A and B are shown apart, each in its own frame.
Chain A
């Protein structure tokens, strides 16, 4: 166990999540990719806290914020999908291209 090993795990999770976020058509599956990327952030934040600066609680606060962001991202994502499905009966990103600002 070392900082490198933990960061490699984080990088692997991040890349898998990035693949999902880029490739999935369904918005719900895309959100699972985003969740995996935040999951990587949890690992990296915890590892940095433990191996670099365990004296202060900054790393822990970062992990706490990441966990919250995960929940918020999911709530907002599902709200958007629900609104989209009500309005035009679609749930894929390709059909919602006109939402880009």
Chain B
């Protein structure tokens, strides 16, 4: 059991003076899992990551990395972690090779294995050709890759990446996402990001954190299902009264969007599209547009992080799902 859970955060809080940055947070990351960490600015993402990597001592609670308490045995626990902070910690006057060798030594890679470890990290991050160049002279994208190479050079059990794709061009972003997916095979990865589609592409599980509290934790598959359509938008040339639309079977609610457009909300798991088209043709409503409305992850994110303000009880995900389903 213990071996399957690489990171375990138990009721961790962090206070900066009176300000509470992280409030009683608990979660686990399993072996080989890629966990997406989402949240608005100042939600406590970076603070949480700093605590997991031993850069910040939590005010309360316990953090286990590969079963080892980060406060009791920091050296042993840190040997299991590779960390890329928001700003890659690069020594700009070293070459890529020198830098990675230093990081490997720092992370207690045996002398005999240093060369293979550095070569492997360079290859995975596409740095083989720039090994001899000064880090300072590399482009931002390459520097970011050096930062990732630094985090995986000692093949740690847990890789923690804080916004790894910031400032990269679209092709580099795709490469890094592919790399993160690859890493997920053998390492556990915690990835923090603002870019929502990134989560959908790379992660197995998503956690949304807001004001230091966990507000949603679900698998990506679960969230995608949740994002599935439960409403249709139609546009009619000869719009009937709203009650006529409401009388269509399976349609629960109708909202007029003006200009002959309506949003029809229906029962989840049912599909009234055919019925609607049929009825429209029969009544000569002049249907010229019909499309399902999908909720994007972005919308879920905005809903959850803003509704949290009114909904103090918060953490109950099922509950917030239901209410939002009805609003949408």
Q: Do A and B bind each other?
A: no
Interface residues of B, Cβ cutoff 8 Å to A: none
Interface residues of A, Cβ cutoff 8 Å to B: none
